[in-house]
Amino acid sequence: MTCTACSSNDFRKKIYDHHQVNYRTETESKAFVDKTVPHNYIFKGLVRVCSTCGHGELETALPPQKVAEYYDRAFWGKSNLTQRVDDAIKGNFSLTHLARAKRQREFIAEYVNMADIKSILEIGAGDALLSRELQLYCAPKATFDVCEPGEHWLPYYKKNGIVR
Ligand SMILES: [Zn+2]
């Protein structure tokens, strides 16, 4: 088995925990995931992380149909879209979502000096909560762009200084 990004065969394993507690042991992380990550979150379990380039993949791949159903429900679905955008504009996010953005920012800060960041591109941004978290730490003139097909987020991006 080789890394799909760089062909290395040197891996370590870790529990995927929605980027919230990466510093914990595997046992603690698994307990945390079982206790806090909602059961409808399908991305959980062991991840093979390439020791050479850092690329990671779930050890047990999910069927494409299940992934499509998840994204339709969590991101592309139209049933509660207006409410989700309204909540985001008001700054109402779940604690899980906020913790995830914070941990993603901390992860980036392990490799990059936040004050040196001049631009951010968040791909598949949705509510762009990572960009909003980074806005608090990056240089004041840093720019924030998203690649997001969902037109419904435009007023929210405009309100928060994010360009699509
Ligand atoms: Zn690799």
Q: What is the pLDDT of residues 76-122, one digit of tens each?
A: 666 678 888 899 999 999 887 888 899 889 988 988 999 999 999 99
Considering only residues 163 and 18, tell me which one the structure prediction assigns the higher pLDDT.
Answer: 163
What's this model's pTM, rounded to 2 decimal places? 0.70
Whether 71 is in a domain gets the answer no
Contact between 97 and 129 under an 8 Å Cβ cutoff? The reply is: yes
Is residue 101 located within the same domain as residue 155?
A: yes
- Cα 19 to ligand 1 centroid, rounded to whole Å: 19
- Cα 12 to ligand 1 centroid, rounded to whole Å: 11
Q: Using CA atoms, how far apart are residues 157 and 160, in angstroms rounded to an integer?
A: 5
Which domain-ending residue is among 15, 37, 63? 63
Is residue 51 located within the same domain as residue 86?
A: no
Is residue 82 located within the same domain as residue 159?
A: yes
- Cα 43 to ligand 1 centroid, rounded to whole Å: 20
Considering only residues 143 and 24, tell me which one the structure prediction assigns the higher pLDDT.
Answer: 143
- Cα 75 to ligand 1 centroid, rounded to whole Å: 29
Q: Is the pLDDT of residue 23 over 60?
A: no
Contact between 1 and 9 under an 8 Å Cβ cutoff? The reply is: yes
The total number of structural domains that make up the chain: 2
User: Domain residues for 127?
Assistant: 78-164
Is residue 86 located within the same domain as residue 162?
A: yes
Predicted pLDDT of residue 7 = 97
- Which residue reads 């240089």 in tokens? 139
- Cα 7 to ligand 1 centroid, rounded to whole Å: 6
% the chain with pLDDT above 90:
40
Whether 103 is in a domain gets the answer yes
Predicted pLDDT of residue 18 = 65
- Cα 164 to ligand 1 centroid, rounded to whole Å: 31
Whether 85 is in a domain gets the answer yes
